[in-house]
Amino acid sequence: MKSRIWRGIPLFLVSILIGTLLVSCSSGGGNNQTAANNEESQQSSDTGGKTAEKKTDINIWTWDVSDSRKKLYEEFTKLNPQYNIVLTSVLAKDMAQKLQTALASGADLPDIAWLEQTFRGKLLSLDIWEDLSKEPYSLDTSQLLDYLIPLETTDSGVYVGPEAPSVAGMAYKRALAKEYFGTDDPAELEKIFTDWDVFIEKGKEVKQKSNGSVFMFASLGDAYAFLKGQSSTPFIQGDTLNFDQGVKPILQKLVEMKQAGIVDTLDVSSPAEGTSYTDEIHIFYPCANWSVDFTIKANDKDGIGRWGFMIPPGGPFPFGGTVQGVPAKAKNKVGAAELIKFFFMTEKGSEIMRDQKGNFSPYKPVYDIPNFYSHKDEHFAGQDVMAVFDTDIFPKIKSVRLPSKYDQDIDDAMNVAMQTINASEGGSVSVDELVQKMQDDIMTKQPDIKA
């Protein structure tokens, strides 16, 4: 299940969780880069790292070569002993370059490559992928969650592969919600926070009551995660920027939040923001399905009963996710497709992903199984957050912004804009000037783009 990769990770995990968030992944997520180290390394799923005789390798380029990932793949090789899984650690941000370098040099390509959400648009634009919906693989996309399919298909119509879906709502600290809003019940809070304008007004009340010491969000990046995910308006159409419709409304709302003084100035996904999960001065956070374990619990290990989860103003939104793609020049495409279909297109594979990684499945039939996703969580005061994702989050994801090969450039320009807002005195910045600066920066990097 990022967009950013696992956000807010504590310092002691940085060396093993390589980053987008929340969120997130997950699964995704998001920002869900969980490489066990920063160096490219190959690992075998067999004991001792040795490949068994007469077994066929399935080579996977991934940012997660953790022990838990290896154990997950062992469940596949137990049922398919003819295969051996070989993991190569590749940071999500380096995947496109590494694939292109391998193609140019004639080096071996992986059998499966991970296309993380932040860099997916660029990766999908590479004309290198096998269409898994075609023979001999015949992956039935009608069995996958509908909203995902456009996010996993190239402009030319090639279906690249499935992903563990990453979607998000809003986590909050119960004690602070009770103190400032009179309730810590998620249903009651959802009645209060009907839209972002109400959220801002309530934030002003919090600021006044706390003498400016308590904030609705820890960072503008957190606010941006909500606003970006809840809009499907494209940032770019073809080779033309669509910032007046796609970016400007988001920047306007961020400036309004800054002017209201309801957002702290922490950097998103920074160690300082990670520490904020344990304090009593930041109330709300984006929370993807993967964020529960990999962000909230990782940052707030002792936070039993501290947290609640709700539908945010503006509704749930996609947040992270990683496509499993098979290069057309891979050596073992059939084995790769078998592994992908097992984990993403079967009930058994969905159970393993759920139980070992906390991932949700893109496979529609499991959502018809009563209580397939259900777990009362002590960190959330016994709230069944997994069931909320199942019944209230996934069904409400209707439309998504399609990926673009320029997504990373747009994210970089947006980060500069948010830094400018943060550094301004009380949000005294011109949104039009921010939009113009973003456009200029992107067109300098990408001369083929027009405003």
Matching residue, tokens 């809009």: 231
**In the predicted structure, residue 362 carries a pLDDT above the cut 90:** yes
Mean pLDDT of the chain: 89
Three-class DSSP category at 156: coil
pLDDT of amino acid 44:
46
pLDDT of amino acid 35:
36
Q: Rounded to whole angstroms, how far apart are CA atoms 151 and 149? A: 5
What band does 397 get if pLDDT is binned at 50, 70 and 90? confident
What band does 358 get if pLDDT is binned at 50, 70 and 90? confident
pLDDT of amino acid 53:
65
What band does 133 get if pLDDT is binned at 50, 70 and 90? very high
Q: CB neighbours of 264 closer than 8 A, spacing ≥ 6?
A: 215, 217, 218, 219, 276, 281, 282
The CATH number given to 11-166+321-357 is: 3.40.190.10
pLDDT of amino acid 116:
94
Q: Rounded to whole angstroms, how far apart are CA atoms 262 and 209? A: 12
**In the predicted structure, residue 36 carries a pLDDT above the cut 80:** no
**In the predicted structure, residue 1 carries a pLDDT above the cut 90:** no
What pTM did the predictor assign? 0.85
Matching residue, tokens 């904020």: 276
Q: What is the mean pLDDT of residues 44-61?
A: 68
What band does 433 get if pLDDT is binned at 50, 70 and 90? very high
**In the predicted structure, residue 287 carries a pLDDT above the cut 60:** yes
pLDDT of amino acid 22:
34
**In the predicted structure, residue 24 carries a pLDDT above the cut 90:** no
What band does 21 get if pLDDT is binned at 50, 70 and 90? very low
What band does 160 get if pLDDT is binned at 50, 70 and 90? very high
The CA distances from residue 23 to 168, 317, 416, in Å, are 6, 11, 22
More confident residue, 90 or 12: 90
Q: What is the pLDDT of residues 195-227, one digit of tens each?
A: 999 999 999 999 999 999 999 999 999 999 999
Q: How large a percentage of the chain has pLDDT more than 90?
A: 83
More confident residue, 36 or 294: 294
Radius of gyration over alpha carbons of the chain, in Å? Answer: 22
The answer to whether the beta carbons of residues 99 and 330 sit under 8 Å apart is no
| Beta bridge pairs of residue 308 | 172
pLDDT of amino acid 28:
39
What band does 383 get if pLDDT is binned at 50, 70 and 90? very high
Matching residue, tokens 């040795």: 50
What band does 17 get if pLDDT is binned at 50, 70 and 90? very low
Q: What is the mean pLDDT of residues 244-249?
A: 97
pLDDT of amino acid 178:
98
Q: What is the pLDDT of residues 134-143, one digit of tens each?
A: 999 999 999 9
Q: What is the pLDDT of residues 258-280, one digit of tens each?
A: 999 999 999 998 999 999 999 99
Kindly state the greatest CA–CA separation across the chain: 70
For 169, the enclosing helix (H) or strand (E) is: strand 167-173
Q: What is the mean pLDDT of residues 404-418?
A: 94
Q: What is the mean pLDDT of residues 12-17?
A: 36
| Beta bridge pairs of residue 377 | 383
Q: What is the mean pLDDT of residues 69-91?
A: 97
Q: How large a percentage of the chain has pLDDT more than 70?
A: 88
Second-level CATH architecture of 169-317: 3-Layer(aba) Sandwich (3.40)
pLDDT of amino acid 294:
87
pLDDT of amino acid 232:
93
**In the predicted structure, residue 108 carries a pLDDT above the cut 60:** yes
Start and end residues for every CATH 3.40.190.10 domain found in the chain: 11-166+321-357, 169-317
What band does 45 get if pLDDT is binned at 50, 70 and 90? very low
